[in-house]
Structure 1
Amino acid sequence: MSQLPTFEQIRQAPKVLLHDHLDGGLRPETIIDLARETGYDRLPATETESLRAWFRESADSGSLERYLETFEHTVGVMQTREALVRVAAECAEDLAEDGVVYAEVRYAPEQHTSAGLSLEEVIEAVQEGFGAGSAGRGIRVGTLLTAMRHQARSMEIAELAVRYRDAGVVGFDIAGAEAGYPPTRHLDAFEYLQRENAHFTIHAGEAFGLPSIWQAIQWCGADRLGHGVRIIDDISVQSDGEPKLGRLAAYVRDKRIPLEMCPTSNLQTGAAASIAEHPIGLLRRLNFRVTVNTDNRLMSGTSVSEEFAKLSEAFGYGWDDMLWFTVNAMKSAFLPFDERLSLINGVIKPGFARLKWQA
């Protein structure tokens, strides 16, 4: 058996990230700086490592209230143009440092207007930050504009996603509590996006089960599923040990609908009991279009490289498996076909081949 890649080798690999929240990936020291500059006085700690530990412990607590409180603090310091530019720039820098060559980062513009910024000013500040942070670092960042599913601004945000799609916004998303807020509440926004030939993903099948996935695909026409981990509920293991796919699971696999899986985050939210028991193992074996993502790098104390290292340890994944996940992600990105192909053939495959040869 060949030796598994080390963490440092994985970090050097050209990776693709499709599911990462801007307000879930701030540097703790930046939160402290911005709180001081903006007068935000509610932080639970004002020393970098203590604050980092608080975010991780809160996310691991099993308390939904504590988990949601973490975002109150990150969003709380992201209310000025200067703060948004800095956070976006540092996001691009941190992802590039981790070996990410293409990332789609999402955020909800409506959550950053409490200090008087307009939605357009929020979007333009974030785009400025991504541009500054990615310059010369070998990374391209596309933006997903998110609407909150418990609010009623999805059409407005969808229209902005279309308006800014030639300025770095590559798609649309809805997020927030699934239970009680089905994606069909925002059907008008999804129908509008389809008429405009725009791309969108939907958070579905994380905290809520198969009905959420079914609605996201069959009613709303989602291009991808944010998480989608609960598709495992439609796969049963027979007495002979062979898995049998239900009709929805078979449809998702047959149509190659991408699943934006976030293993560590799924543990924190209770969608999986451990990395070794995460549905990603079976879904990879069954050749679903699975991708590996971070969700919230600060709260989960993770990176794309960390996620791959954990999966490698749990499932014995080597270079070929990691390349498979990465190509899946690049194929599923909201970029034009020729640009995806160029990154796959010109950057990703040669990068993995070089690392595999060196190993």
Structure 2
Amino acid sequence: MSRYEVDGVDIQTLPKVSLHDHLDGGLRPQTVLELADEIGLELPASDADALGAWFAAQSNSGSLPEYLKTFDITTAVMQTEHGLHRVAKEFVLDLAEDGVVYGEIRWAPEQHLQRGLSLDQAVEAVQAGIEEAIDLVESHGRGIRVGQLISAMRHLDRADEIAELALRHRDKGAVGFDIAGPEAGFPPSRLASAFDRLARAHFPATVHAGEGDGLASIEDALFAGRALRLGHGTRIAEDIEVEQERDDAIVVRLGELAEWVKDRQIPLELSPSSNLQTGTIAQWGDSLEDHPIDLLLQLGFAVTVNPDNRLQSGTTLTRELGLMVEAFEWDLDDLEEVTQNAVAGAFCSLEEREELADEIADGFDDLR
């Protein structure tokens, strides 16, 4: 049983949907140790607990660029077919243990070619690991559906190539496209030709925006990137004005961009712990209670809750939801709402989303 409960229910037992989960941010510390030993990579710690603590400490920098440096180690041990297969397999098993019934795993294949793999071989290795894990989960009487989000690094120059890679694998595990990496100075419009190609092929995209940069980043993601979801999108709250008036009445005014995102129910892939670590919410405060996620949910935005990087944040989706219960007194209905928001934004067919929505509703009802 996890330590996180809501209305007397163990949150780990609730069916969940994870839309923003990085493969290279979700390795088990013991796996990092063993894979590093295989390739002779020196690590900053020699046991799993100490290594996990090192990742957590390094990630609490308050800076997205500094946070991203921790991935130098995780990507280094994911340069072979064996390494990618193992990490992907364990990742899916960890999703299932977390109560996730549908997950999208994002990662950037271009970062995994240092030991001779081609882009396609890398994607195939990850897919093989995913499928082996799905079979294992099903052999234990449970079910999980998992797709790959193929990411291009926004500050490099391979987006067109990575878009084509995603399209080659669209019927073999790839369900969507993403761009990741430092936001400031690298807007989605810089990669316009890749997004044009994807749009013509009717292939969905989510874009990291509103994390390391502000409203301009979000606007560019929506219009140049044709983003169907916003990777984080936290800083859409910059376009919301909250005023305290007489008799404690609260007046909230939304700017045009915030209205657009809310009215069209564009899912926000919010990751509370990560947003705190990277300084994304620094303008509002320095604790989870200062995160605008609760305000956004109460205003009717399509809020979803995600782990982002399980290793760096020392977290799970169970924990992230539990933290929201502790910080904002969310109840079971709130957790079901954000989970159904994630279902609505999932990159799968309408029929699959309807089936998944029923599964989530039944799962919550069974635990009430």
Query: Residues 63 and 279 of structure 2 are in contact (CA less than 8 Å); yes or no, is this contact kept in structure 1?
Result: no
Task: For 1:61, give the aligned amino acid.
Answer: S
> CA–CA distance in 2 between the matches of 1:91 and 1:279?
29
For the aligned residue pairs, the C-alpha RMSD in angstroms reads 1.4
Aligned to 1:37: 38
- Secondary structure of 2:88's partner? helix
> CA–CA distance in 1 between the matches of 2:40 and 2:8?
39
Gaps of 5+ in 2: none
- Offset of 1:39 from its aligned partner? 1.9
> CA–CA distance in 2 between the matches of 1:96 and 1:266?
24
> CA–CA distance in 2 between the matches of 1:6 and 1:24?
31
Task: For 2:67, give the aligned amino acid.
Answer: Y
> CA–CA distance in 2 between the matches of 1:318 and 1:8?
10
Query: Residues 171 and 198 of structure 1 are in contact (CA less than 8 Å); yes or no, is this contact kept in structure 2?
Result: yes
Task: For 1:268, give the aligned amino acid.
Answer: Q
Deviations 1:198-233 (A, max 9, x none): 000000000100000011112221111000000000
- Secondary structure of 2:218's partner? helix
- Aligned positions, number: 352
Structure 2 residue 356 is the aligned partner of structure 1 residue 343: yes
Query: Residues 104 and 141 of structure 1 are in contact (CA less than 8 Å); yes or no, is this contact kept in structure 2?
Result: yes
- Offset of 1:61 from its aligned partner? 3.1
Task: For 2:25, give the aligned amino acid.
Answer: G
Aligned to 1:210: 215
Aligned to 1:78: 78
Residues 1:315 and 1:221: Cα distance change in structure 2 (over 3 Å): same
- Offset of 1:8 from its aligned partner? 6.7
Task: For 1:183, give the aligned amino acid.
Answer: P
- Offset of 1:9 from its aligned partner? 1.1
> CA–CA distance in 2 between the matches of 1:149 and 1:265?
20
- Secondary structure of 1:242's partner? strand
> CA–CA distance in 2 between the matches of 1:281 and 1:274?
13
- Offset of 1:66 from its aligned partner? 4.7
Query: Residues 232 and 279 of structure 1 are in contact (CA less than 8 Å); yes or no, is this contact kept in structure 2?
Result: yes
TM-score (norm 1): 0.96
TM-score (norm 2): 0.93
Task: For 1:156, give the aligned amino acid.
Answer: E
Aligned to 1:145: 150
Residues 1:7 and 1:75: Cα distance change in structure 2 (over 3 Å): farther
Aligned to 1:323: 336
Structure 2 residue 132 is the aligned partner of structure 1 residue 132: yes
- Secondary structure of 2:199's partner? helix
Query: Residues 195 and 224 of structure 2 are in contact (CA less than 8 Å); yes or no, is this contact kept in structure 1?
Result: no
> CA–CA distance in 2 between the matches of 1:250 and 1:86?
43
Task: For 1:78, give the aligned amino acid.
Answer: M
- Offset of 1:274 from its aligned partner? 1.7
Task: For 2:56, give the aligned amino acid.
Answer: R
Query: Residues 272 and 291 of structure 2 are in contact (CA less than 8 Å); yes or no, is this contact kept in structure 1?
Result: yes
Query: Residues 7 and 306 of structure 1 are in contact (CA less than 8 Å); yes or no, is this contact kept in structure 2?
Result: no
Query: Residues 232 and 271 of structure 2 are in contact (CA less than 8 Å); yes or no, is this contact kept in structure 1?
Result: yes
- Offset of 1:238 from its aligned partner? 2.6
Query: Residues 6 and 309 of structure 1 are in contact (CA less than 8 Å); yes or no, is this contact kept in structure 2?
Result: no
> CA–CA distance in 1 between the matches of 2:160 and 2:65?
28
- Offset of 1:67 from its aligned partner? 2.4
Gaps of 5+ in 1: none
- Offset of 1:275 from its aligned partner? 1.3
After TM superposition, the structure 1 = structure 2 runs for residues 144-223 of structure 1, keeping only pairs within 5 Å, are: 144-223=149-228
- Offset of 1:65 from its aligned partner? 5.9
Aligned to 1:306: 319
Aligned to 1:257: 266
Deviations 1:173-199 (A, max 9, x none): 001111111110001011111100100
Task: For 1:164, give the aligned amino acid.
Answer: H
> CA–CA distance in 1 between the matches of 2:39 and 2:354?
43
Query: Residues 112 and 122 of structure 2 are in contact (CA less than 8 Å); yes or no, is this contact kept in structure 1?
Result: yes
Aligned to 1:268: 277
Deviations 1:266-308 (A, max 9, x none): 0001112221111101000001011000100000000000000
Moved more, 220-229 or 5-14: 5-14
Deviations 1:303-354 (A, max 9, x none): 0000000000111111110000000001100000000100111x21111011
> CA–CA distance in 2 between the matches of 1:88 and 1:215?
31
Residues 1:20 and 1:165: Cα distance change in structure 2 (over 3 Å): same
- Secondary structure of 2:46's partner? coil
- Offset of 1:138 from its aligned partner? 1.4
Aligned to 2:112: 112
Query: Residues 64 and 212 of structure 2 are in contact (CA less than 8 Å); yes or no, is this contact kept in structure 1?
Result: no
> CA–CA distance in 2 between the matches of 1:315 and 1:239?
19
